[in-house]
Amino acid sequence: MSDAPTSRFRDELRTSARLAAPLMAGHVSTGLIGLVDALIAGRHGTATLAAVSVGTALFWLPLLIPMGTLIAVPASVSQLDGAGRREEIGPLFRQALWLALGLGLAMFGFLSLAPLALEALGIAPEIRAGTAAFVLGIRWGVPALALYLCMRYLCDGLHFTVPTMLVGFGGLVLLVPMGWALTFGLGGLPALGAGGLGLASALTMWAQALTLALYLARARRFRTLRLFDRYEPPRWPPIRGLLALGLPIGFTWLMEGGLFVATALVIGRLGAVPAAAHQIAINVASLCFMLPMALAEATTVRVGHAVGRGDRDGLRRAAFAGFALVLGTQLITGVTLLLGNHAIAGLYSSDAAVVALASGLLLMAAAFQFPDGVQVLSVGALRGLKDTRVPMLLAAVAYWGIGMPLGAALGLGVGDLIPAGGPRGMWVGLIAGLTVAAVLLGLRFLRLSRRVPMLPEANRRLHADGHGSAPPDRA
């Protein structure tokens, strides 16, 4: 009895893990920026941590659309590179920069107006000023972050992620002392509290964007692409193509991320302690999410290559390898949160009330590690099948048709019928939304993957020897 299927699955596990490892490092470096912000804010005070919680929610809400939309860049660049059309990468990249700049400026405008809505949103009065200061400080970095994402996604599309890893961790080295100095007022600088932390984050984003741009302009590896050799005005056809591919992804991310953001805003109505505790828990959960997110991106690549070969068994093997890996990462993060919830919360704050509530929320975060991993991996696998519109609708149903209404009802209460459960009630809604999304999106992939047409064996082998084969991992 042959063990060939088992051997092929093991090979796929190793390939997916190698592809995902540098992506994980890059995502973790991004997630650690939020961790640094929360740690510094927590040491400054409960009100500052609560203000940063709401401000971070207002910051990430609009940013989810450009982040998702610009994910079209690595897919497009990878196709051009694999087809031997590298001379087209530079012109496409320059148009992608225009798109990123436009999205960044739109987000800047949104964040400039967002503080005006804090009272209408019912944010607790004691944290409104700090929230506004944080948002108005960090908004200056949004255009830089959009441009940085565009350049980072270019590197990802060319399977060269070392520069973005180094720049990402370099930003952390800069943010820690600068954030502390501007928040607490060290070295002759004024103590700006939450506003100083937002400004430090913005300066870090500009430093990262300029550093990566300088590297791309001078590195020998990118010299033949002539990325910055000429000025080109915006052209609608290539920008429209990027939007057509990326916008459904952006709105899918918005459906999920918006659930967490809306939860933070609702909890912000309950006062400083609940908002601060929620910030701790959601920050830790977001950092854990970086691992399955990276695996989802790797699975997109592996599934896409199998589809190109007409290899239905291969694409399902790639997806199941991704699911196996993501279950492993989620088991590790779930157990860590389960056993270390109190110790982790204590790193953020010395306020006993905040630590006690955050510890309970971290236990709930442990409960949704598995559905969160399954849903994001399913989205990645479906993206490899170029299925983006239906997942967007399924996400809307799961998160906004079920998760948010249930969370709001349990968190805020419904008259005498349902007592207000506070942050814990809101988090029940998060768990419900993620679980429903995992089921719907997983079933969607299983059904679609059976319908993918297969090439005849001889043609599949020929295609696998050509453009259908996976590019080497050059990270």
Contacts of 112 (CB under 8 A, 6+ apart): 136, 139
Mean pLDDT score, 39-51 = 84
Query: Is 474 within a domain?
Result: no
Rounded to the nearest 10 degrees, the angle between the axes of helix 125-138 and helix 89-113 is: 150
Query: Is 472 within a domain?
Result: no
Give residue-wise pLDDT tens across range 304-327.
Answer: 777 766 778 888 898 999 999 999
For residue 416, report the phi and psi dihedrals to the nearest 5 degrees: -90, -5
Give residue-wise pLDDT tens across range 386-414.
Answer: 787 888 899 889 998 998 889 888 887 76
* Measured distance CA(404)–CA(50) in Å, rounded: 21
- Give Cα separations from 176 to 40, 101, 179, 181, 196 (angstroms): 8, 27, 5, 9, 12
Query: Is 470 within a domain?
Result: no
Query: Is 96 within a domain?
Result: yes
Res. 74: pLDDT tops 80: no
On average, the pLDDT of the chain sits at 83
Query: Is 475 within a domain?
Result: no
The secondary element (H helix, E strand) that includes residue 137 is: helix 125-138
Enclosing domain of residue 34: 4-465
Query: Is 361 within a domain?
Result: yes
* Residue 349, SS3 per DSSP: coil
Mean pLDDT score, 127-143 = 92
Query: Is 473 within a domain?
Result: no
> How many separate domains does the chain show?
1
- Mind giving me the DSSP string for 153-204? HHHHHTT--HHHHHHHHHHHHHHHHHHHHHHHT-TT----THHHHHHHHHHH
Q: Say what percent of the chain tops pLDDT 70.
A: 91
* Measured distance CA(380)–CA(249) in Å, rounded: 10
Give residue-wise pLDDT tens across range 143-180.
Answer: 999 999 999 888 877 777 778 778 888 888 899 899 99
Query: Is 157 within a domain?
Result: yes
